[in-house]
Each structure stands twice: as structure tokens, then as C-alpha cells.
Amino acid sequence: MEKEVPETGYDIPARPSNKPMIEAVEVDLPAPSLLDNTADLDRLARALYQKGFFPLQLSPGKMNEFVRKMRQNDLRFRAVVGYTGTAWEVLDLIAESPDVPVLGFGVDMGTSTLVLRLVDIACKKIIREVPVKNPQAAYGEDILSRIIFARDAGGLEVLRRLLLEACSDAMEKMLKSCGASALCVYALSCAGNTAISHFLWGLDPSNICREPYIPAANTFPIVRAAELGFDFLPNALLYLFPNVGSYVGGDIISGVIAAGLNRSNDVRMLIDVGANAEIVLGSCDWLLACAGAAGPALEGGVVDRGMQAMAGAIDSVRIDRKTLEPQFGVIGGGKASGICGSGLIELVAEMFSSNILNIQGKFNTRPDCARLRNTPDGPAYALALSSQTGDGFEMLISEVDIGVFLKSKAAMYTILSLICRKVGLKFYDLKNIFIAGNFGTHIDPEMAIRIGMIPDLPLETYRAIGNSSLLGACMLLCDRTLLAEAEKVRNMITYVELNVNVELLNEFRGALFIPHTDPKLFPSVRFPQDGPQ
């Protein structure tokens, strides 16, 4: 299921003045002589030192190969060097001609999905993107089950190998599909939550979920990828984003960097809806993170016919105000298999605006609606007819489904509201809110506002950023200053625990309504009784 990428690739947003993590440096050495009998590798080191690459590291296993290549190429070649934060490692010596590309992989190691991008580092272009299921899910859909499984004898190793092999397989296929050699891959940049980072490294994650929630490691050395088992990438370094702690992983740090929160003078917000809803608020001066269980419903995981935003998912819905007949869009075209988060948002918004639902999310009794069904679970709306679905059954969205969904949207609004109040900010202080993930790519902010899921701000405030964790990982490949920036972000972020207290419950109860019990919070939203919207 390779993602379509334009022929020319697409650009990674990078500050052009900053240099990439990996560089192919032109080297043209003077011939050795009796007067200058510096040893081959010292000659190489001297040339790189003169170009600013110092201190330099060479791995013992490479030295003979380098000496041979130096002499084979008559001392004119490109030295591929990789930055390790404190030194430069010589990764390869390649021909002078620029035909040999300098490649890297960005990897977002998600709980349910691994997304990999093949990056041309020198050109700062993404040339392939592939998502694959995280095969660890066989040992638990949620991360907690996997941490518990890892405590069994051999469990950690099973999870590590699954992750390693899934990534390796995907990488090999991507390289094959563009005719590139694994020898041209010089860097992997990976970001994941704290537990998955532990799995990749083969580190015991037990204490992540035991008070006082101490991970084994939050920062990881930069190593040769082969040291972690990527044997088919003998020339690559592996960068893994550091974690803040058990609750805030490297994927969040990577996302913060992608959204530029840490480089912004005004306060920005990043909303990442994955297995959890994870929010970061802040600027170049401070950063606050929190997480809440708002995710699954929004990603389509809880509702009966819910699914992720992929081919076959209904992702947009319009309902005729008079006939109450729906029109919908299906990702990839064809028949519908289910409905994703953004589809649900639009469905609920349209059902509300069409006066099918009241502000409590209950069905109004409208005998003249041909799409209403009575089911053992109560009333339901037939979004797709049997002729429009893949399985030949009508797609029904019941009052129970909508109730479940409203809890998620209320959780989301509550979290956003509480985190802003924590720092004494009003929503309108925010000029930029980045919505990450598949969810963010498909969501229509106007619809999300209409149901009261996100604050009622000018639509241009909201910006879809895609997979921010993956984007940050790819940006790191192309901008080595981000290595220090990631460490800085890690030290800046404060994690805020959202305690279940009276304040939160009151907020939540109000937010369960469409859009809210307090309509003043959503001045732009027109109610059905106000006339058509």
C-alpha cells in the first residue's frame, strides 16, 4: 500500500541554511610521496578535518574497505560522513559522480501503524512513503498489553524482532521499488512513543507503567543501525528521538519540531490524535504536554462501523436539509466499508444541522425521514444503503454510536480547555493550532467546530500537518541542528497530568452537548432553529 508520491518527490520543509545530518564531501587528496608519507586513513582524516569534520570516527570493520576504495579511486572520491552530535563518523567512500544518492529513512513507529519514508537527504526530498501495520499488535492492540507481554521470558525479544523485521521488510521493498541499493542508505531517523523506543532498543519497558513510572532510558546513543539488527544497512547510522518520560515519547518531540512550536514566539498548539489524544502547547519559551483517552473514537476505532482513514472509509458527509438524504465521499472511491473519524464528525455535524439530532445527541422524532431505522439498540440513521456498501449491508449509525463518539469529542474539548486554563490562556490567544495525523489531514475544522470538538476560532487557525512525528524524523535527516534542538525540547517539556476531578467532570459534562451547554463558547455555530447552515 505504497503512498503516491509525485515523480519528483516532495520537499521536506527545512531551513536552507542548515546542513544535513549526512554529507557526501568531495575529497581530492594529494598523492603520497616520500616527503608527505602520512598514512592513507590519516590523510583522509586530515582532508576532512580541513573541511571542518572533526573529531572523526572510523569503525574498525570499515578501515580496510576505505583504504582499498581510496586507492581504487586514485584518491578522488566523496566521503560520506554522518553527524553523531559530538563527532563525525565516516560511513562510506563513494564515487565522485553524483549518481550515487545519499538516502535515509524517516520512521514513525506508531502503536498501530509504522510509517516509513525514503528520503533523498542531499536533495531534501521524500521519494517513497509506505505505512505498514505494527505486527506487535498481535501481542496487544494497546501498548500496555505489550509492556506486560514483554515481561514474559523472551517476550521483549519477540516484540523487538517483530518491529525490526517489519521495518526492515518495508525498507527493502521500498528500496527495490525505486532500484536503490541498501548500501546508499546512511541514516535511519526513528520516532516513537517511550515503550516502542524501548522495544526497538531491546530495553526492558517494565517500569514505564509502574509507579513512579521510570523508563530504562530517555536518551539513546547514536549507533550504527546494524548494531540494532539492521544488518542489511551496513553504512547507516540510527537516530532515535529521545523521550521526555513514560508519558511523552520521542514521537511528540519530533512532532513539536515539525510544527515549530519550539521556534515560535507566539503560543502554538499541536494536537496529535493517535491511540491517545496528545496535546502540546507552548512557544520558544515553554512547552506543556498532556495526553488523554480521546483518541480511539476519533480514529474510528470505537464506533460499530468505524475504521481508520483508509481506502473504503467514508470521510465526508453532507445531508440535505429538506430530504435528509445523505451524500458522502469514500476514500479511494468505490463502495463504503466503514466510516472514519472525520466522516463521523461531518455526519454528526450534518445530523445536528439537519435537526435529526438534538443538542444532547439524541434523535429527534421525525417520521418523515426515510433514513431512520429502529434497531434493538434504539434509533439509527442509515448513512449508506446496502447497494452502497462493500458487504451489502446498510451502514447504520445508532444513537449509541453517537453517544460514544460524543464522549470522545467532549474529552478532546475538555483537554484543550483545561490545558489552556492551566497556563492562563484563552483560546483566542492561539493563532496557530496544528492538527496532526490522518485525522488532521481529513478533518474539516468548520465541521469539528460545529459539533463543539475544537474551539470556535477563525478557520485559518487550524492547520493540518499530517504525520508530524514522521515529518520531524525526516526533517532531522536534512538538518543536523535539530539533534540539539530535540534535546532542548526534551528538557523544556513539562508533562501535565489531567486529574479526574470535579473541574474536569463539569467541563466534560458541558462538552457532551452539541456543540456545548454554553452556546456563547461557539458563537459561529448556527442552530437548526436559526435556519439552514
Contact residues for its own copies, defined by CB under 8 A? 32-34, 37-42, 45, 55, 57-61, 63-64, 67-68, 86-87, 201-204, 207, 211-219, 221, 223, 227-228, 243, 245-246
90 or 465: whose CB is closer to its own copies?
Answer: 90
203 or 256: whose CB is closer to its own copies?
Answer: 203
Instruction: Single out the residue of 475, 452, 439 nearest to residue 522, CA to CA.
Output: 452
CA distance 280 to 486: 14
- Give min distance, CB of 66 to its own copies, in A: 9
- Give min distance, CB of 495 to its own copies, in A: 9
- Give min distance, CB of 296 to its own copies, in A: 26
38 or 112: whose CB is closer to its own copies?
Answer: 38
30 or 392: whose CB is closer to its own copies?
Answer: 30
57 or 364: whose CB is closer to its own copies?
Answer: 57
- Give min distance, CB of 60 to its own copies, in A: 5
Burial code of 360-373, b = ≥16 C-beta within 10 A, e = fewer? ebebeeeeebebbe
- Give min distance, CB of 40 to its own copies, in A: 5
- Give min distance, CB of 36 to its own copies, in A: 8
Instruction: Single out the residue of 437, 468, 436, 474 nearest to residue 190, CA to CA.
Output: 474
Cell reading at 516: 456545548
33 or 265: whose CB is closer to its own copies?
Answer: 33
235 or 417: whose CB is closer to its own copies?
Answer: 235
- Give min distance, CB of 69 to its own copies, in A: 12
Q: Backbone dihedral region of 425: left (phi > 0), alpha (psi from -120 to 50 degrees) or beta?
A: beta
- Give min distance, CB of 75 to its own copies, in A: 11
Q: Which residues contact 154 (CB under 8 A, 6 or more apart)?
A: none
Residue 345 has phi, psi (to 5 degrees) of: -60, -45
208 or 395: whose CB is closer to its own copies?
Answer: 208
Report CA torsion sign: 182, 185, 187, 188: negative
208 or 511: whose CB is closer to its own copies?
Answer: 208
- Give min distance, CB of 39 to its own copies, in A: 4
Count of alpha carbons within 13 angstroms of residue 9, beta-carbon side: 16
246 or 308: whose CB is closer to its own copies?
Answer: 246
Q: Backbone dihedral region of 264: left (phi > 0), alpha (psi from -120 to 50 degrees) or beta?
A: beta
- Give min distance, CB of 58 to its own copies, in A: 6
CA distance 415 to 293: 10
* H-run or E-run covering 63: helix 63-72
**DSSP character for 429?**
G
- Give min distance, CB of 59 to its own copies, in A: 8
- Cβ atoms of 244 and 219 within 8 Å: the answer is no
CA distance to 35, 158, 179, per residue, from 322 (Å)? 93, 57, 55
Q: Cα 378 to the chain's mean position, in Å?
A: 37
CA distance 348 to 356: 9
Instruction: Single out the residue of 37, 39, 83, 89 nearest to residue 61, CA to CA.
Output: 89
Instruction: Single out the residue of 512, 509, 511 nearest to residue 361, CA to CA.
Output: 512
409 or 490: whose CB is closer to its own copies?
Answer: 490
Cell reading at 191: 520516532
Cβ–Cβ contacts within 10 Å for residue 88, how many?
22
